[in-house]
Structure 1
């Protein structure tokens, strides 16, 4: 067996039967639900529990991150939307019309993350429009995190179903 065959046997290029894909999926959603608008969620709990400097640090960090996100959206939002839509459309067509499993996997990873991005924009606007301090900020960040976790659970569920279907059709059905 040559080196090339050994590498591709160890690193199975079929996405849904590859352990690395599932590890990446878990890490992506774990990170997305931990980092709420660029702020680690344990910082929110600490600010709520301790108040004072921890609360001020949280408010400052959220203000910085939301201002940065909204500046990017205001300056380049149209271009980012167009490029992101074109990229996701290309992945969807390549994956589901031409049956390229890697494109399917990337689409199932990327599309829900765009929903999280849109949710981040909405949350940032609400924070900037008056929910940027104290209880209102904690509530907004908690709601944002809960919605991200819901999107993540739905994404993992759909990806697992599609991955099982792909693995069954490839191995059992001989597709």
Structure 2
């Protein structure tokens, strides 16, 4: 028998803007294709979500399992939790530019003029850029270990996933609902 390949399982990514009903429909369409596959294959789907939207992925998984139950089929769930390194975005600079003393609406330095139109406080030949301008240093990007939840739902048992992540199962003929965790 060929070793099991996780890359053959269709993946459904979950983000905050996605609709629960559309993702549920997509999962069910994957698990119950209109035409049965010609080659023997595992009918499974993987829901992948970052920690921020893990609750949405869990909700979708529970709805999918409930729908599988209503069709009298058995379901098998394998839950994987891992960490991925993510670079945090640098904070955006404020768009409000100073309108303080001696600044115009765009935040540029404005020179004061005296009563007769003469400049005060600076000489005329000092209009060039400041030779002692502060250099902006690039700060290294901060990295964080972000939790990533993957929920595999299948209509048949997958022993390879059960060994790695444990198995929850249920459904089947009415009245035989069981749930087990290894």
Q: What range is the shorter-chain TM-score in?
A: under 0.3
Structure with bigger strand share is: 2
TM-score (norm 2): 0.25
Structure with bigger helix share is: 1
TM-score (norm 1): 0.25
Which structure is larger by alpha-carbon Rg, 1 or 2? 2
